[in-house]
Amino acid sequence: MSNALLQVKDLHVQFNGQRKAQALSGINFEVAAGEVLTLLGESGSGKSVTLRTLLRLHSEKTTRITGEIIVDGQNVLSFNEKALNQYRGRLTSMIFQEPGLAFDPVYTIGQQLTEVLRAHEQLDASAAQLRALDMLERVQIPQARKRFDAYPHELSGGMRQRAMIALALVCKPKLLLADEPTTALDASVQIQILLLLRELQKETGMSVIFVTHDIGAAVEVSDRVAVMYAGRIVEIGNLADIVYKPRHPYTQGLLASTVSHDNRGSPLLTIAGSPPDLAHLPKGCSFAPRCARAQANCLSDQPNLAITDSSSFACWYPNT
């Protein structure tokens, strides 16, 4: 991908706590400038770990990271503390799952927005306040001046989420990481936030990595989709190919277990079994113990991504 803003190459992440867990196992992907890539998969598949690794938020004492993370031509894994502080928020920013925990409860929304601007762009107090108010208005927060002086607990869940988006975008990052930004919201607010994110992405031209386990949300915002399972990417491709022509049995299982108009009134299908223990990953394909198409070599040999014109998949016996 010649215009790639982000390149992730052979990324491995191992947590070394009371027991070792292989959270990511050699993932590779790219994100073009202005593209939205969705990471899709069950809880524990490695989606949030991937985003936190891109920002280097894991404890360096208990985490071993190998591979390459290249953002805008810079190797993130080589950054010292000063370079890392400039990278976070300025070049790459993140919307966390729960804004109530991401905001500091003892400072107002405005104080936290202006602090970011003064730290990264050295704006004076007046200029930072004007930029922050403009950003609150752009994320469609009503009465922006009043919300600017409010504390996080004084905002509703939907307003806190919009304020979190404003905080992530106020320094105009090139890459936005959105970690299930609608999980804690009701359905009507979820769609508002998704449409707002897509609108802002098109307006600013930034690249976005969107994490979700909700296929409906992925359809609303994505250009491409990467399906993750047990710390690996098992299928990646254009949105239409993943949704309408899935090759990997796990992708097919996710789609079949989603409620839609097509299966209304029919029993909802599920994927048998549970994801593997990351501390004891199977030798072959991690999905093989749950896969109806698995054969002997699936249990002994890990398949590599097979590349086609519009998608790639890691399966010995893909859907044809």
Residue 306 sits in a domain whose CATH number is 3.40.50.300
- What is the pLDDT confidence band of residue 263, given thresholds at 50, 70 and 90? low
Q: Which domain holds residue 63?
A: 4-101+173-313
Direct distance between the N- and C-terminal alpha carbons of the chain, in angstroms, rounded to an integer: 26
Tokens of 168: 């992530």
Q: Quick check: is 152 in a domain?
A: no
Q: Quick check: is 155 in a domain?
A: no
Q: Quick check: is 293 in a domain?
A: yes
Q: Quick check: is 118 in a domain?
A: no
* Dist. CA 208–CA 193, nearest whole Å: 14
Which of 106 and 189 is assigned the larger pLDDT? 106
- The whole-number pLDDT of residue 18 equals 83
The structure's pTM equals 0.91
- The whole-number pLDDT of residue 320 equals 72
Q: Quick check: is 110 in a domain?
A: no
**Number of domains observed in the structure of the chain:** 1
Tokens of 48: 């949030």
Q: Quick check: is 20 in a domain?
A: yes
- Name the average pLDDT for the chain: 90
Q: Quick check: is 122 in a domain?
A: no
Mean pLDDT of 99-118: 90
HSE-up (13 A, CA, CB side) for residue 43: 1
Determine what percent of the chain is predicted with pLDDT higher than 70: 97
Q: Are 207 and 33 in contact (CB under 8 A)?
A: yes
* Dist. CA 291–CA 297, nearest whole Å: 13
Q: Quick check: is 241 in a domain?
A: yes
pLDDT, one tens digit per residue, over 22-71 is 999 999 999 999 999 999 999 899 999 999 999 999 999 999 999 999 99
Q: Are 177 and 54 in contact (CB under 8 A)?
A: yes
